[in-house]
Amino acid sequence: MEKTRAQWGSKIGFILAAAGSAVGLGNIWKFPGRAFEGGGGSFLLIYLLIVIFLGMPLMLTELAVGRASQSNVVGAFHALGHKGYSWVGWVGVLGAFVITCYYAHVGGWVLRYVFAYITDAPVIYADSLGYFYNMLGLHADGSTSFPWVAVLFAGIFMALNAFVIIRGVESGIERFNKIGMPALFILLLILLVRSVTLPGAEPGLRYMLSFDWGKVTFETVISALGQAFYSLSIGMAILITYGSYLSKSENIEKNTMLICAADTLVAMLAGFLVIPAVFATLGSDQVGKGGGFAFVSLAGVFEQMPGGQFFGILFYLLLLFAALTSCISLVEGIVAFLTEWFSWERKRATIGVCAVMFLIGCLYTCSQAAIPIKGVWLDAVNGVTFPAFCDFMEFLTDRLMIPVCALGCCIFVGWVWKPESVIAEVEQECVRFGLARVYRVLVKYVAPLAILTILIMSLVTGKTLS
């Protein structure tokens, strides 16, 4: 195993890279739809509580395990002397692998939209939903065809990814984030102002600020929890890898808070941007369309603002950045493992694994609308079902792999390696871990119990985690 590990070039570099991993399609593509389904304001509040009480301790745990072990996700458990727990790492790598397969494809759609706004803005404005489905191979007359445009762009997106990974941690990932992240943030603010001032946006805004407790169910909590883990990149052992590149003098506690705050802020901004826009343009009955939001509903915002086409291009460009930095973190976790564990050469490992993931991901894009490829699923209520392959891939990661890996991390740290070891790791070089006591309770009792409940509930009731 190699002895000298890469390290982040600068303090801000690490924060931006970890925040770059967290902020991605999850915040902008997934969050708004979930916030709407969960009842607006009440969902937001639950989400916030979950980030604070579960997300933060888990993120801190992963970073500390990574830095203490100076190893990849599987090696970490060996390095800390508990080989028996390396399955947690395996689940993490496998989960990252499956997520990347489809994440890169959705990233490809975003890339497609950068070009779509350059050449086809009026066509998108005319029928934004039709344009989206057309890209996925389902046409207005109901006929279907191979979604080669979406697949082609997914290939380009994956190649971009591989390129950055091959160039290494510092030069690749850091440089991307230093510019992309702040720019995305500013653009979201600008679009937010346009969105909430659109005629008809007000009920959407009011909805996002309303606390309708009658709408809060156990499912809302499950959904918020899954969304929070996904969004913070937890339970994928990504942060163990990133933590291993972190210098001993960094304050893990403070960094964790910063990253969680940045990720949550972006999600909130996206929620307050997208939902009012959907109310104003597509109508509130369209809000449930979830995934297509980021592609479909914003067309109305761009159409009705001066320089809308320019903002459209900029938005998808920055979303592309965000997706790329998240995808890079996923691939980096896998590649770091392959190169260290099997002594594969970095360049070959990256190209090989990216090619395979791209091919598997084609099943995701094709099964959206064009070709009825099925997966298989089992839960206690519905028995054996055959969901579309794209849903199957998300079930596998969101309902099974993420919670299992997160639970494994909690049990390992709470009961085997012990919270004291994490606290000692955080307190290296005279850094004080102010919330150490609270952390101990959260990681030992609260987090594992909460995750176990979700895991069981989602498998027993068939309700999705994220």
Which residues contribute to the site for ligand PHE (CB under 6 A)?
Answer: 21-22, 24-27, 99, 230-231, 233, 236, 238, 326, 329-330
List of residues 6+ apart from 254 with CB closer than 8 A: none
Q: How far is the CB of 446 from ligand PHE (least distance, A)?
A: 22
Q: Which two tokens stand for residue 182?
A: 């702040």
Counted residue by residue, the chain has a size of 466
Nearest distance in Å: CB 438, ligand PHE:
24
Nearer to ligand PHE, 110 or 282 (CB): 110
Instruction: Tell the smallest beta-carbon distance from residue 450 to ligand PHE (Å).
Output: 19
Paired tokens of 244: 């291993």
DSSP states along 427-459 = TGGG---TTHHHHHHIIIIIHHHHHHHHHHHHH
CB 33 within 8 A of CB 276: no
Residue 323 Cβ, how far from ligand PHE at the closest point, in Å? 7
Q: Whose Cβ is closer to ligand PHE: residue 281's or residue 458's?
A: 458
The smaller minimum CB distance to ligand PHE, of residues 13 and 26, is found at 26
Residue 378 belongs to what H/E stretch?
A: strand 377-379
Place of tokens 């600020």: 209
How far apart are CB 120 and ligand PHE at their closest, in Å? 26
In this structure, how many other beta carbons lie within 10 angstroms of the beta carbon of residue 456?
12
Tokens of 232: 């913070």
**Are 268 and 260 a contacting pair, CB within 8 Å?**
no
d(CA 101, CA 161): 12
Cα→Cα distances 182→23, 63, 173, 187, 190, Å: 11, 23, 15, 9, 13
Beta-ladder partners of 211: 40
**Residue 21 or residue 220: which is nearer to ligand PHE going by CB?**
21
Specify the residue, 329 or 458, whose C-beta has the smaller distance to ligand PHE.
Answer: 329
The answer for 138, left when phi > 0, alpha when psi is -120 to 50, beta otherwise, is beta
In the complex, minimum distance from the CB of residue 402 to ligand PHE, in angstroms, rounded to a whole number: 8
How many Cβ atoms sit within 10 Å of the Cβ of residue 253? Answer: 22
Least Cβ distance, residue 351 to ligand PHE (angstroms): 20
Minimum distance, C-beta of residue 142 to ligand PHE, in the bound complex (Å): 32
Three-state DSSP state, 466: coil
- The residue (of 46 and 73) whose beta carbon lies closer to ligand PHE is 73
CB 103 within 8 A of CB 397: no
Which of residues 14 and 230 has its CB atom nearest to ligand PHE in the complex?
A: 230
Give the residue with the Cβ less far from ligand PHE, 192 or 234.
234
Residue 328 C-beta: closest distance to ligand PHE, Å: 9
CB nearer ligand PHE, residue 282 or residue 327: 327
The neighbour count for residue 116, using CB atoms within 10 Å, is 23
Per-residue b/e over 90-109, b at no fewer than 16 CB within 10 Å?
bbbbbbbbbbbbbbbbbbbb
Q: Which is nearer to ligand PHE, 99 or 240 (CB)?
A: 99
Minimum gap (Å) between residue 27 Cβ and ligand PHE: 5
